[in-house]
Amino acid sequence: MPRGRYSLHDPYDGTPLGDEHFQCAPGASGWRYTARTTAPDGTPTGSVDLTIDHLGRPVRLELHAAGWQVRGAALEGVTWVRSDPEGTTAREGNARAQGFTGTSPAFLVATTRLLTPPPAPSPQRLRLVALAHPVLAPRTLDQAWTRTGEDAHEADTGVLRVTNYQVSDLETGEQHPVHIAGDVVLAAPGVELEELDTPPNSLDT
Specify the pTM: 0.94
Rounded Cα–Cα distance for residues 184 and 187 (Å): 9
Q: Work out the number of other CB atoms within 10 angstroms of the CB of residue 172.
A: 8
Q: 121: helix, coil or strand?
A: coil
Rounded Cα–Cα distance for residues 96 and 77 (Å): 4
Task: Answer whether the bond into residue 119 is a cis peptide, omega within 30°.
Answer: yes
Identify residue 37 by its one-letter amino acid code: T
Which distant-in-sequence residues (6+ apart) come within 8 Å of 14 by Cβ?
A: none
Residue 4: alpha-carbon gap to chain centroid: 15
* 7 class by beta-carbon count within 10 Å (0-12 exposed, 13-18 middle, 19+ buried): middle
**113 to each of 28, 145, 180, 199, how far by Cα in Å?**
15, 11, 12, 19
Query: pLDDT per position in the chain (205 positions), as tens?
Result: 789 999 999 988 989 999 999 999 997 779 999 999 999 999 999 999 999 999 999 999 999 999 999 999 999 999 999 999 887 889 999 999 999 999 999 999 999 999 988 777 789 999 999 999 889 999 999 999 999 999 987 776 677 889 999 999 999 999 999 999 999 999 999 999 999 998 898 876 4
Contact predicate 109/184, CB 8 Å: yes
Phi/psi of residue 138, nearest 5 degrees: -85, 140
Rounded Cα–Cα distance for residues 53 and 63 (Å): 18
Q: Work out the number of other CB atoms within 10 angstroms of the CB of residue 93.
A: 14
Rounded Cα–Cα distance for residues 150 and 161 (Å): 7
